[in-house]
Amino acid sequence: MTILLLGGNGQVGHELRRSLASLGNVVATTRDGRLPDGDPCEPLDMARPDAVDALIERISPDVVVNAAAHTAVDRAEDEPDLAFAINAEAPGRIARACAARGARLIHYSTDYVFDGTGDRPYRESDATAPLGVYGRSKLAGEQAVADSGARHLILRTAWVYGLHGANFLRTMLRLGAERDELRVVADQVGSPTPAWLIADVTAAILRRGIVESGVRHLVSAGQTSWHGFAEAIFAEARAHGVVERSPRVLPISTAEFPTKASRPAWSVLDSGRLAAEYGVEIPYWYAALATTFQRGARNWGDTPRLHPSSSDRG
């Protein structure tokens, strides 16, 4: 099986390069045509969605996994055309190319397609109403994939973190090394989900085969606030010897931490349908966090302090 992995250097893409390796020949793309170890791979700029067709024609994949996206939530407010090109137009083209060749497509989307006014975990059938450009562009991407006629699965996930890439966990460790006190919002609730879990479940789905095209939710079980997540990060980081001391983590309201983009107050997704369909076990978010530190114990060093903050993403 030939798998074309778009965005092989993002948080999820990095873990997918590991998890998909046993399924066949994985051809990865990055923007500059280089992997972190310097090895060459296929260059692809998704801001030019027409480049996608030639690549898919040449590689002739059985499966395309699209982990590339414009994920800088605040910056997307200032560059909506770019966000829509990468998050909506490109996935539409990819999906239509897959439909034309009979290739299957796995695509990822976000809790930010919801407005966060729910009071129970969101199901796939719940109404969407994104609050910002990032969420609107991702929703347009979902619709383009669904309309393409390709056999596909859109995995909506949320609050993704890992040892690689730009994410909240690494931002907290970096800020925690610089400051004695952090202020973190306690009135936005969601399910922190490690990139390795998304990658492992994606491999399990491909091993089994897509049961039915559509959207499925995939997040860790349980829920917490960003403040609760930050406290857990420092507790686990200390327990695993990643940091020697923790800053004070003060709970604040969203109004006390103004950001360019509005974020949903309630971001909890119900992964029950996916778990039942594919027989996958979904860990509790805190256990998944502890596993992340265990898995990465050897690789931490001081890299978190050196990484750009999540607001620098693009």
Ligand X SMILES: NC(=O)C1=CN([C@@H]2O[C@H](COP(=O)(O)OP(=O)(O)OC[C@H]3O[C@@H](n4cnc5c(N)ncnc54)[C@H](OP(=O)(O)O)[C@@H]3O)[C@@H](O)[C@H]2O)C=CC1
Q: Does the annotation mark 134 as catalytic?
A: yes
Q: By CB under 6 A, name the one of 3, 4, 5, 10 that touches ligand X.
A: 10
Contact by Cβ (8 Å): 288, 223: no
Token reading at 92: 């539409």
Least CB distance to ligand X at residue 70 (A)? 5
47 binds ligand X (CB under 6 A): yes
Site string for ligand TDO, 154-183 (x = CB under 6 A): ----xxx-------x--x---x------xx
103 binds ligand TDO (CB under 6 A): no
Least CB distance to ligand X at residue 84 (A)? 12
Contact by Cβ (8 Å): 36, 163: no
Least CB distance to ligand TDO at residue 160 (A)? 6
**CA–CA gap between residue 137 and residue 70 (Å, rounded):** 9
Site string for ligand TDO, 255-274 (x = CB under 6 A): --x-x---x-----------
SS3 labels along 88-113: HHHHHHHHHHHHHHCCEEEEEEEHHH
- β-strands 160-161, 25-30: how paired? unpaired
Helix or strand or coil: residue 206? helix
Least CB distance to ligand TDO at residue 313 (A)? 7
Task: Candidates 66-74, 143-151, 254-262, 288-296: pick the segment binding ligand X (CB under 6 A).
Answer: 66-74
Closest CA to 40 of 54, 48, 28: 28
In the chain, the amino acid numbered 211 is: V
Contact by Cβ (8 Å): 66, 72: no
Judged by beta carbon distances under 5 to 8 A according to partner kind, the member of ligand TDO, ligand X, none in contact with residue 262 is none
Which H or E run contains 220?
none
N residues, the chain = 314
Q: By CB under 6 A, name the one of 26, 96, 108, 128 that touches ligand X.
A: 108
Contact by Cβ (8 Å): 124, 214: yes
Least CB distance to ligand X at residue 1 (A)? 22
Choose the catalytic residue: 112, 134, 161, 278.
Answer: 134
Per CB under 6 A, residues contacting ligand TDO are 71, 73, 110-112, 158-160, 168, 171, 175, 182-185, 188, 226, 257, 259, 263, 310-311
Catalytic residues: 134
